[in-house]
Amino acid sequence: MYPLVLASTSPYRRELLARLGLPFATAAPGVDEAAVKRQLRDPAAVVTELARQKARAVADRQGAAIVIGSDQCACLDGAVLDKPGTEANARAQLAALAGRTHELLTAVALAHPGGTIEWTEVTRLTMRALSGDEIARYTATEQPFDCAGSYKIEHLGITLFERVDGADWTAIQGLPLLRLAAELRRLGLPLP
C-alpha cells in the first residue's frame, strides 16, 4: 500500500482527513498561488489548477504515494473572494455576502502512481441579512481571517446562514470526505 500524504499545512484539512482514521503525513506544497490567480480568472479553473499543482508538487518529491491536494474559494458574482487576512477585509466580505447567495468551490486532486483523479464540489450558501454590529461581533469572536468567505461555518459561522445546498458538508470545511473516501477505497486503502 502506498503512503498517504496531504499536500497542505491547513489545520482544517488535517483535522478532516484524520477523521478517516488512516495514517498520513503532511507536506507543504510550495505552490505559487498568486501566479496561478494572476494567470487564470475563472474561479473553478483557479481552484482546480491549484489543487492539481499542490498534489503534483508533493507527489514529485514523495515518489510512490497517494497525495491529496485541495484548494477552495468563495465566489460572488463570478469573482473570487480570497482569504481576508485582516478584520477589515473580513467585515467587507461579509457585508458583500449578507443577504445574498454565493458559491464555495472545493477542488481536489488525488495524485497516485497510476495518474491523477480530480473533482470539484460546489456548495451554494445563502447568507441572511446582517447588520454592521452583527458582522463586527462575529469577526471579533471568530476571527475568520484565514477562511475563504470570512466565515467558519462549522463553528459560530452557521448563525450567519439561511440555507446551504451541497452534496457534502465537509467540502465547506475544505476537504470533501464523501468522494475522497470513495476514491481512496478504489485505490485500495482500507476504509469501511
Quote the Cα angle for 99-104-109, to 5°: 180
Q: Is 71 a catalytic residue?
A: yes
Closest CA to 70 of 21, 115, 20, 10: 10
CB 118 within 8 A of CB 131: no
CB 11 within 8 A of CB 154: no
Give the other-Cβ count within 10 Å of 33's Cβ.
15
DSSP β-bridge partners for residue 19: none
Strands 101-112, 79-81: pairing is: unpaired
CB 178 within 8 A of CB 169: no
Check the CA dihedral 142-144-147-153 and report its sign. positive
Residue 63, SS3?
A: coil
The residue from 32, 71, 133, 165 that is catalytic is 71
| Main-chain dihedrals φ then ψ at residue 67, nearest 5 degrees | -120, 130
Residues taking part in catalysis: 71
